[in-house]
Amino acid sequence: MSLDATRAEPHPHEARRRLEHARASRLAQLRALDETERGSDDHLLSAQKTAMEGVLKEIEEAFTRVDDGTYGICVGCAKPVPAERLEILPYTRHCVACRRRTA
């Protein structure tokens, strides 16, 4: 069995572990932004906070995909998202080609 074949579909336990790590990291970043934002009227900080909240929403949606069995399947082309991409962006919904088309 090749390495590619064993990594083609992420195991739900591994996917959850990666998503939990991503969520914890983003929550820590959001807390840091909240602390920095206090007493500041910086639009950049506000934009960063909004972006971080968007990523947290994507992470929660990825947990739903794990639960319903669609995690790791591109919503654009219905092909498996490469394992390497899921390692980097565990909450991604698209393969690279489809993401380029939607960007």
pLDDT tens digits, 63-98: 999 999 999 999 999 999 999 999 999 999 999 999
Q: pTM for this one?
A: 0.82
* Distance between CA atoms of residues 21 and 31, nearest Å: 15
pLDDT tens digits, 10-69: 788 999 999 999 999 999 999 998 887 666 668 888 899 999 999 999 999 999 999 999
Contact 21, 33 (CB under 8 A): no
